[in-house]
Amino acid sequence: MKIGIVGITGRMGRAIANLAINNEITDLVCGITRPDDDLIGKDIGVIMALDNIGVNVSSDFEELFIKSDVVIDFSTPEITLKCAELARKYKKNLVSGTTGLNEEQKQQLSKYAQGTVIVWSSNMSVGINLLFNLSQDIASILHDDYDAEILEMHHNKKVDAPSGTALSLGEAVATGRGLDFGEVNRKTRDGIVGARQKNEIGFASLRGGDVIGDHTVIFASNGDRIEISHKASNRDIYAKGAIRAAIWSIGKEDGFYSMRDVISSNNNL
């Protein structure tokens, strides 16, 4: 299976490339970066301190999709939508872990998936997607007897808050309770905001150091508290999830899928 990578010279791009090169199922055939990157034209293997693999860094989106069976993308919402448009044009699969998409952009991504296979998740980690499932299940059991709050912490370079993963956890809780997430989320509290509303799903965001990603869902009642957490200590978990999703996507019907679909399937990837 031929893999192409958006942002090949970045941290995530390199992590995904390393796995793609060393996976017996995948073959890294193309990687692109921004047009002003000094590494354009360099062999991908060489820039990763590996052997020469005969594939040079490019900036050509069209080439990326022509050469690849599946393109893996961890970039920006604008670039992700461009990738989705090209994925549909060339009938190639797209796996994206881009965060920061607004609802309109997610809907546009879903429309592009009407002509190809797109797997998008705010977090490609298998573990965090299990946390999504557990949060939804727990919320459905506890109903509104327990207040739901979500705490997340990331490194000091992260630009969006709450994190996309935290918001997805909130959506899972809302789904479990049969609520409209858009109506019950409370992303900020500052000053005299009044008492907490019964169905609120609150968020708290912390930033500092080099924290890769910590997420905790808290269910608190008058008598006890349940906390379930996931803490990432290595970015390879996202790269592994992306490769798993790419392999899973082959042969699927056109549609808009999530990592939860990937881990819900009975496979041994």
Q: Could you tell me which residues come within 8 angstroms of residue 74 by beta carbon, excluding any fewer than 6 positions away?
A: 6, 7, 10, 12, 13, 16, 96, 97, 98, 238, 242
Q: Which of 264, 157, 174 is nearest to 213 (CA)?
A: 157
State the residue for tokens 């980690």.
125
User: Of the listed 154, 215, 230, 240, which one is catalytic?
Assistant: 154
Annotated active-site residue 158? The verdict is: yes
State the residue for tokens 């970045």.
10
Q: For residue 205, what is the enclosing H or E element?
A: strand 201-207
Long-range contacts of 194-198 (CB under 8 A, 24+ apart): 196/147, 198/144, 198/147
Q: Do the Cβ atoms of 50 and 21 come closer than 8 Å?
A: yes
User: Of the listed 82, 111, 158, 187, which one is catalytic?
Assistant: 158
Q: Do the Cβ atoms of 112 and 88 come closer than 8 Å?
A: yes
3-state class of 156 per DSSP? coil
Annotated active-site residue 154? The verdict is: yes
Residues with a known catalytic role: 154, 158
